[in-house]
């Protein structure tokens, strides 16, 4: 049941002149997203485990905090965008340095990390105990979407709070309320299954075209406007052709996300979902990690197809 709103930042309208924003995590995606918030005129306090990754944000006017807790104490709305569920637990739930330990009543946590639905519900309960709010809001769209503000944002939490956050979400992309806490994360896992299948199909199609003596660029252009065309092809097609494997997100994160999709509770038929495609996709991306390419982008999957087929 939704809890009553307390006095604090909610429901005062969000505006650069009054809303202090915090940001935890400045990797490829996080830095680009935080940059859009900063460019819109918001006061931005950031925490980065590797401060050098935040240099462009700092030079643009952001302030650097010493811990996630310090970010929370200086902010009304706090975003987090880190790597793995254990990172989420550390930056949000650590009793000493975690953001929740220093939240002021009425503050809002927005976790954009691709994480576990159960952890999102745990974070929401911890925030509620401090008379605060939590939204699990993982995103899809890669580094291009983060840079251009065209991300798909899948938000779980209280619908009214997500609506109130619209001025910030609109800077990053399009937010859709998916349901109660944890629903955003469940949506992102489902999204990753679909994205993984598209990447596998696109890279495998390119390899087949090349093996048949076709011009791979002409092939992708020819099918791009047909049923095989997709956002995945739009984002990654040219990179595959140019062998540009720089990450919009590390492929090891896709392995993590697909692993969460395949988790089931032993003996509980209601929670078990049979996902043969996701299992195969995860094996393909795990091949990249096994080859030492876990920090590549997903388009690097073409290298796995090439190795399997003996292509130099």
Tell me which residue of 27, 26, 56, 25 sits closest to 250, measured CA to CA: 27
Complete DSSP assignment for 237-279: HHHHHHT----SS-HHHHHHHHHHHH---TT-TTT----HHHH
CA distances from 44 to 1, 19, 24, 82 (A): 32, 10, 11, 17
Q: Which of 4, 188, 211, 295 is catalytic?
A: 188
179 sits in the region (left: phi over 0; alpha: psi -120 to 50; else beta) called left
Q: How far apart are CA 275 and CA 257, in angstroms?
A: 13
SS3 assignment, position 93: helix
Would you call 188 a catalytic residue per the annotation? Answer: yes
| Residue among 302, 296, 256, 282 nearest 82 (CA) | 256
Asked if residue 258 lies in contact with residue 298, where contact means CB atoms within 8 angstroms, the answer is no
Helical (H) or strand (E) element with 57: helix 55-59
In degrees to the nearest 10, what's the CA dihedral of 33, 34, 39, 41?
A: 130
Orientation of helix 251-262 relative to helix 276-290, angle to 10°: 150
Catalytic residue positions?
A: 188
């Amino acid at each position: 049941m939704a809890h009553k709103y307390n006095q604090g930042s909610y429901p005062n309208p969000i505006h650069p002149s009054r809303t202090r924003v915090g940001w935890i995590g400045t990797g490829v995606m996080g830095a680009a997203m935080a940059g859009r918030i900063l460019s819109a005129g918001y006061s931005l306090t950031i925490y980065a485990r590797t401060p050098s990754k935040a240099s462009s944000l700092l030079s643009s006017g952001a302030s650097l905090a010493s811990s996630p807790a310090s970010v929370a104490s200086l902010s009304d709305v706090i975003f987090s965008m880190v790597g793995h569920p254990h990172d989420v637990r550390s930056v949000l739930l650590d009793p000493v340095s975690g953001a929740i330990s220093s939240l002021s009543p009425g503050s809002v946590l927005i976790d954009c990390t691709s994480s576990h639905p159960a952890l999102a519900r745990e974070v929401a309960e911890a925030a509620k105990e401090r008379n605060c709010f939590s939204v699990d809001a993982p995103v899809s769209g890669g580094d291009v979407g983060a840079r251009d503000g065209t991300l798909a944002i899948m938000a779980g939490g209280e619908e009214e709070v997500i609506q109130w956050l619209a001025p910030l979400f609109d800077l990053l992309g399009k937010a859709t309320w998916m349901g109660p806490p944890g629903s955003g994360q469940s949506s992102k896992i489902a999204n990753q299954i679909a994205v993984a299948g598209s990447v596998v199909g696109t890279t495998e199609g390119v390899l087949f075209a090349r093996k048949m003596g076709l011009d791979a660029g002409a092939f992708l252009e020819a099918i791009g406007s047909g049923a095989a065309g997709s956002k995945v092809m739009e984002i990654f097609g040219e990179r595959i052709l140019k062998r540009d494997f720089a990450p919009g997100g590390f492929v090891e994160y896709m392995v993590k996300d697909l692993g969460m999709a395949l988790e089931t509770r032993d003996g509980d038929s209601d929670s078990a979902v049979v996902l043969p495609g996701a299992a195969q996709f995860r094996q393909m991306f795990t091949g990249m990690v096994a080859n030492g390419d876990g920090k590549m982008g997903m388009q690097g999957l073409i290298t796995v197809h090439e190795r399997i087929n003996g292509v130099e």
